[in-house]
Structure 1
Amino acid sequence: MDCRIFFFADGGTEPTRASMPQPKVKLVVTGDDFGYCPRRNHGIVECFQTGGVSNVSLLVNATSALDAAELAKIHLIPIGLHANLSEGAPVSQNLKGSTLLNEDGFFHGKTGFRKVLSSGQLNMYEVEQELRAQVKRFCELVGHLPYHMDGHQHVHVLPEVREVFAQVLADFGIRYTRIPVEPGLHACPLIPPHLHEFYIQVQKDALSSVEVFRRHGIRWPDVYLGLTTMGQNMSIDNIKQALGYALGARCLTNTLTTPLTGTQTDEIAAANRPVTVELMVHPGYPSHPQEGGCGQGPDDFSLSEDRQHELEILTDPSLLAYYKQESIQLCAFRDL
């Protein structure tokens, strides 16, 4: 977003964000899995144009990644990398027989990746090789480095992987990542028990990754949201409730997850600035069977009607009016 002052012939200036009232919340609404299939791409672009998302995350090994990159250029969509180590085929051409891959040459899957990692059989050099290949592929597709980089299915906060992930971010100068620690997650009654157990483990891993990313100079928003508002659990009321949790949990979240500011003056300034929040979303239209994915076809998550449900909620005029009413400013990672 452009914050320059433009002078007009009459000597006046155009109002800028610096002269406008300070928002209470700077909200990054990230549409994940951009590139997964043509219908996902279409829905995400529609959502961006309507004001429902402000930022996207690209799967560079997905079948429609090139199309997604072109759409991001055409529509000036802020874009980052959704690094993928768990679904589909790798980007690197040097991973034949890799511990990252099963006997069919594909990644092990969300659960399988974690099993191989916990068994101690995952080669971290191969992880690093694939992550670097995906960053380079992103640059080839988009024309610049990612504004942010996180892990598909939250693999970036897992033990050992987070060390490699943070080093790759630092080496490329990518400043922002995602720390999936969500206020209100423990008490959320909407999530099925098996998913709730997985999300709680994701949160534990995320908390353990904080010092690793901090040590490498990587940053992230004050608050993360998205696990309690995914799919059919997304509603305008649930988004409002999640944002309420975010505001209420600011102090705790700053202490646990955000990089330390150092001086007392810095701390006072931080207390007076807007809360920064990332809301992870997955809008789109359901994939056609056999069209999309990352080399193995679309999964149930992408085939479901949940994608379109999220799209409809995120673009609902009453939600967009709520943002304006509550001084919630949508922005992208590059604007933070």
Structure 2
Amino acid sequence: MKKLIINADDFGYSRAINYGIIDCFQHGVLSSATFMANMPGAEHAADLAKQNPGLGVGVHLVLTCGEPILKDHQTIVDVHGRFRKLSFYESAFNIELAEVYDEWKAQIERFLSFGIKPTHLDSHHHINTYKGIKDVFCRLAEEYQLPVRNNMDLPSHLRHPNRFEYYVEKVLKDEVSIANAFKDADTVEVMCHPGYLDKAVMGGSSYTYPRLDELELLTSNVVKEVLNNCKDVELATFKSL
């Protein structure tokens, strides 16, 4: 059987996002999520993860949103002690990669402190693909022996799905679209960002209303029927790699 991992990013961002992700798992086709250990909704997300053990939960490593777990950084935070915005990394930048390593390790350890075993690693805003940061990401994946998202060129020894898809609406449109996603692939991860909206999301995220569209899609009977008609495809988590 071919394996389809439908993964929701931003688990832990806020209670509204968390409840949306869980609804997509309980009442829809979502199979996996990734956890933001530094965000205010992290403890709530951990409780929901424990109540829903069938949901695969990985670590969504953060460098561009909210505040870090460690408080002694100098190069990866602004004057207020918050993570620098993604725009900082979109041109020439200089940071101490040791700070990234220490912070991301602290995020993984906080995740583990909740008593949950991570299924994989990925990152917020795909920051793991940026200069130098990629090496830190791969080093941590090796240390914790975890699979990773296939969103960049990866060392051959790291486990990952054969293909990564950015647009959940495109992949889940119909049976033909799913078949196209699995062309020359046995395992596919498709990323999504479902969630309800609360003040934390509306005030802090640039991605708001589309979260509701994705939630509607992932819980729709139409998508459930499409997947049911794909007899050689099953929903999976990164544990299957």
Q: Could you say which residue in structure 2 is the equivalent of 1:311?
A: 215
Matches within 5 A, 1:275-286: 275-286=186-197
Separation in structure 2 between the aligned mates of residue 47 and residue 140 of structure 1, nearest angstrom:
25
What displacement does 1:108 show? 1.2
* Conserved? CA contact 1:37–1:64, under 8 Å: yes
Pair 1:298-2:233 in alignment: no
Distance 1:236 1:157 in 2: 23
Q: Could you tell me how far 1:94 is from its partner in structure 2?
A: 2.7
TM-score between both structures, scaled by the size of structure 1 = 0.67
**Deviation at residue 127 of structure 1 after TM alignment:** 0.9
The CA RMSD measured in Å over matched residues stands at 1.9
How far is 1:309 from its partner? 0.9
Q: Distance in 1 between matches of 2:170 and 2:138?
A: 34
TM-score (norm 2): 0.92
Q: Contact (CA 8 Å) 1:38, 1:292: kept in 2 or not?
A: no
Residues in 1 aligned to 2:33 and 2:78: alpha-carbon distance in whole angstroms: 29
Structure 2 residue 139 is matched with structure 1 residue 220? no
Q: Against the structure 1 CA distance between its residues 123 and 223, is the aligned structure 2 distance closer, same or farther, given a 3 Å change threshold?
A: same
The answer on whether the counterparts of 1:107 and 1:113 sit within 8 Å (CA) in structure 2 is no
- Mapped partners of 2:101, 2:132: distance in 1: 11
Give the whole-Å Cα distance in 2 for the aligned partners of 1:109 and 1:236.
30
Displacement of 1:239 in angstroms is 6.2
Q: Does 1:138 align with 2:111?
A: yes
Secondary structure of 1:106 counterpart:
coil
Q: Which runs of 5+ in 1 are unaligned?
A: 1-22, 181-205, 255-274
Percent identity for Structure 1 against Structure 2? 28
Do the aligned residues in 1 keep the contact of 2:14 with 2:201 (CA within 8 Å)? Answer: yes
Structure 2 residue aligned with 1:112: 88
1:65 match: 42
- What is the aligned counterpart of 2:101 among 128, 153, 160? 128
Between the aligned partners of 2:174 and 2:160, the Cα distance in structure 1 is 20
Alignment gaps of 5+ in structure 2: none
Q: Which amino acid aligns with 2:209?
A: E
Deviations 1:32-62 (CA, angstroms, capped at 9, x unpaired): 1001111111111111001320011001111
- Residue 278 of structure 1 aligns to a residue whose secondary structure is strand
What count of residue pairs does the alignment treat as equivalent? Answer: 239
Q: Which residue of 2 aligns with 1:38?
A: 15
Q: Name which one, 1 or 2, has greater alpha-carbon Rg.
A: 1
1:152-163 to structure 2, matched below 5 A, reads: 152-163=124-135
The answer (yes or no) to whether the contact 1:236–1:319 under 8 Å persists in 2 is no
> How do 1:69-84 residues align onto structure 2 when only pairs under 5 Å count?
69-76=46-53, 77-84=55-62
Q: CA separation in 2, counterparts of 1:281 and 1:330?
A: 15
Instruction: Tell me how far 1:114 sits from its aligned partner.
Output: 3.3
Q: Summarize deviations over 1:180-232 as a string: whole Å, max 9, x none.
A: 2xxxxxxxxxxxxxxxxxxxxxxxxx2xx32xx32xx2111111112x34xxx
C-alpha displacement of 1:144: 3.6
Q: Aligned runs of 1:1-336 on 2, under 5 Å?
A: 23=1, 25-76=2-53, 77-95=55-73, 98-115=74-91, 118-119=92-93, 121-141=94-114, 143-174=115-146, 176-180=147-151, 206=152, 209-210=153-154, 213-214=155-156, 217-226=157-166, 228-229=167-168, 234=169, 238=173, 240=175, 242-248=177-183, 250=184, 275-286=186-197, 288-289=198-199, 291=200, 297-301=203-207, 304-327=208-231, 328-336=233-241
